[in-house]
């Protein structure tokens, strides 16, 4: 194998590795930015949840989940089933079901430590 051919192959490998490294760096930068955006979205959603619960709750702090859902949708929060949506925010929201009513009614309220932070 000639020296020129070896140099050509090394140059080819380095050139393509350079593109690969550039791709990896761009991918990592986008991934970090996306996570920052998601964190920001989560903070915004938590704020909307707190406001929706405050708007919908009674004097005991509990809010009918149907009313909370209406407030969330008014503020642009998209979700499937609301009780499952709140599973993602268990540290923020407490949920209970009243089976003494037919059909059962689901209620939600801010967890105790969150009520202090919201004030």
CATH number at residue 71: 3.30.420.610
10 Å CB burial of residue 63 (0-12, 13-18, 19+) is buried
58-76 pLDDT, tens digit per residue, is: 999 999 999 999 999 898 8
Domain range for 60: 3-118
Q: How many domains does the chain have?
A: 1
The residue whose two tokens read 């079901």 is 97
- The residue whose two tokens read 């761009």 is 26
How many other β-carbons are positioned within 10 Å of the β-carbon of residue 61? 15
Counting as low any pLDDT under 70, the low residues of the chain are: 1-25, 32-40, 113-119
What is the pLDDT at residue 4? Answer: 65
Report d(CA 51, CA 39) in Å as an integer: 19
């Amino acid at each position: 194998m000639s020296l020129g051919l070896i140099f050509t192959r090394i140059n080819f490998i380095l050139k393509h590795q350079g593109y690969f490294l550039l791709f990896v760096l761009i991918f990592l930068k986008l991934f970090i930015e996306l996570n920052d955006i998601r964190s920001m979205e989560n903070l915004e959603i938590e704020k909307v949840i707190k406001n929706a619960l405050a708007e919908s709750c009674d004097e005991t702090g509990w809010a009918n989940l149907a009313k909370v859902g209406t407030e969330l949708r008014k503020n642009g929060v998209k979700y499937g089933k609301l009780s499952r949506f709140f599973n993602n925010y268990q540290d923020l929201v407490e949920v209970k079901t009243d089976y003494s009513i037919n059909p059962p009614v689901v209620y939600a309220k801010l967890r105790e430590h969150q009520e202090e932070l919201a004030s």
